[in-house]
């Protein structure tokens, strides 16, 4: 990106100011936020969404018009700090400075987005890239000139494991080769990215200042990128320096790729943002089987239901392989989300990104400014559709089934799964269970299933949330989508679509 003379002068002035402050930008510069972060606690009854590479202006509007009314409790946004220039999505994971100025929006746009979402009752969880800095030399998106191991006003050679004195215990100037060795994974470089010496108090203070800056603008917490490579001890020391949010420690979701045992230290001060969940869901669907997610069977791989952020996919699993079900699998992708939102285990995080043909590509950008263009959703957002145009956002948050299942989960509350059945039919199978006064039936096969199903629900007519969305009743006697009639024995004749579901509850019963 070519900087105008005026913007270059502004960047130089800002860099000089940083030399004296040692922080990104004073929180006071943005003023006091009008609306603090919603006073919510992340638990198994809440629902979040990762909105990967959506620009700030769109997210603010979406909070007001879609996410808040739909009952979404938090959004995981992409990294907001200044990054290297480039059209690839991963440039956002190579920080140049801690200025809140990126291709997703300016500091002012970031602050406005946080305020809009807070007012809508949706917490902002910012993706914090604090394990490393950029692996290159040049000028960052906001005009910061830098080189590897030298980020003016922020970090210098003494702040990295690869350039510190060789007699220091954490010195390492090579890449990680053994990902099971704790010293190596926390001291050496991840793919050549300069690894910050997070054991140093001065480094911790600068990272904490950056995170506290966002807290001052109303951010509720952070998804910590590469938390495994920071280490639980260093990360906890940084977290202890953060300002409280609503009288409590900010929400911390640590990206830790491992088993429940290796992730456990991170759950002592937050949640495990784990990777194995999408692989399990992918495997279950491929085997035409949706197994029940119970704390008894799943905590072997994960950390307890109340400490595990569950997901169908994320930006890494979608762009590297993929290793999970992705948007182009349409109905399967939606069904996996339905299962995740229905099951008792974990704290679900919906995933929505954008379409691409090259796994490295980011969303569409303005060719003159390099700024990500405003999000465009598919014309049809009530159901999964095949998206082929590069850069078009999937807008999963608008799908009727997703909004309906958030309402279903809210109604289920803390109730356990009961009366679980996995029934085989002549040409397929259906998984069904109840949670409180809610019922769901899921069909993980490519063939529509018509069957008489025991629902254990009181007799009456109900509106389906999958086809009808969050408000499935058209009138007191008619449905927006499918109507299900339950007889006095609790049975109902229903057609469960291929890779689809039927879900209803006492709150969707017609008069």
Catalytic residues: 225, 255
* Conformational region of residue 436, where left means phi above 0, alpha means psi within -120 to 50, and beta covers everything else: left
- CA-only gyration radius of the chain, Å: 24
CA 481 to chain centre: 29
CB 78 within 8 A of CB 24: no
d(CA 442, CA 425): 13
d(CA 55, CA 237): 31
| Residue 288 tokens, joined | 């035409």
Angle between the 400-412 and 331-342 helix axes, to the nearest 10 degrees? 10
131 sits in which H/E element: none
CB 500 within 8 A of CB 335: yes
d(CA 80, CA 129): 9
Cα–Cα–Cα angle for 502, 317, 340, rounded to 5 degrees: 25
d(CA 184, CA 174): 9
CB 171 within 8 A of CB 188: no
CA dihedral 307, 313, 316, 317 (to 10 degrees): 120
d(CA 127, CA 47): 17
CB 420 within 8 A of CB 433: yes
């Amino acid at each position: 990106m070519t900087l105008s003379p005026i913007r270059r002068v502004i960047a130089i002035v800002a860099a000089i100011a940083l030399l004296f402050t040692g922080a990104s930008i004073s929180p006071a510069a943005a003023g006091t936020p009008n609306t603090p972060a919603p006073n919510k606690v992340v638990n198994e009854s809440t629902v979040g969404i990762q909105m990967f590479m959506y620009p700030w202006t769109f997210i603010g509007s979406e909070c007001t018009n879609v996410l808040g009314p739909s009952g979404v409790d938090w959004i995981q946004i992409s990294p907001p700090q200044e990054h290297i220039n480039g059209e690839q999505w991963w440039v956002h994971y190579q920080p140049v400075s801690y200025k809140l100025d990126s291709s997703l929006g300016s500091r002012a746009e970031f602050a406005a987005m946080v305020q809009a979402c807070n007012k809508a009752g949706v917490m902002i969880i910012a993706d914090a890239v604090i394990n490393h800095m950029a692996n290159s030399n040049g000028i960052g998106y906001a005009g910061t000139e830098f080189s590897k191991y030298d980020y003016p006003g922020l970090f210098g050679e003494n702040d990295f494991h690869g350039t510190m004195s060789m007699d220091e215990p954490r010195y390492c100037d090579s890449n990680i080769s053994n990902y099971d060795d704790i010293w190596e994974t926390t001291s050496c470089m991840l793919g050549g990215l300069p690894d910050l010496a997070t054991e140093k108090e001065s480094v911790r203070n600068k990272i904490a200042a950056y995170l506290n800056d966002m807290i001052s603008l109303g951010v509720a917490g952070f998804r910590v990128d590469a938390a495994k490579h920071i280490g639980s001890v260093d990360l906890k020391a940084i977290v202890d320096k953060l300002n409280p949010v609503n009288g409590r420690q900010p929400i911390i979701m640590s990206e830790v790729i491992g088993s429940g045992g290796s992730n456990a230290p991170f759950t002592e001060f937050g949640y495990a943002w784990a990777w194995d969940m999408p692989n399990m869901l992918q495997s279950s669907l491929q085997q035409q089987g949706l197994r029940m997610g119970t704390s008894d069977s799943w905590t072997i791989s994960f950390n307890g239901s109340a400490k595990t952020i569950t997901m169908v996919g994320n930006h890494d699993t979608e762009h590297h392989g993929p290793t999970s079900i992705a948007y182009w699998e349409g109905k399967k992708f939606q069904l996996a989300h339905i299962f995740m939102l229905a099951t008792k285990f974990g704290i679900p995080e919906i995933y929505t990104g954008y379409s691409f043909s090259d796994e490295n590509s980011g969303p569409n950008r303005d060719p003159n400014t390099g700024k990500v263009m405003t999000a465009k959703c598919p014309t049809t957002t009530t159901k999964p559709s095949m998206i082929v145009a590069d850069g078009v956002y999937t807008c999963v948050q608008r799908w009727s089934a997703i909004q309906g299942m958030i309402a279903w989960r809210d109604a289920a509350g803390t109730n356990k799964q009961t009366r679980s059945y996995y029934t085989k039919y002549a040409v397929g199978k259906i998984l069904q269970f109840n949670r409180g006064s809610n019922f769901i039936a899921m069909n993980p096969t490519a063939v529509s299933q018509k069957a008489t199903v025991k629902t254990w629900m009181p007799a009456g007519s109900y509106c389906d949330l999958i086809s009808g969305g969050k408000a499935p009743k058209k009138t007191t006697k008619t449905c927006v989508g499918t109507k299900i009639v339950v007889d006095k024995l609790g049975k109902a004749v229903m057609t469960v679509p291929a890779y689809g579901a039927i879900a209803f509850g006492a709150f969707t019963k017609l008069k």
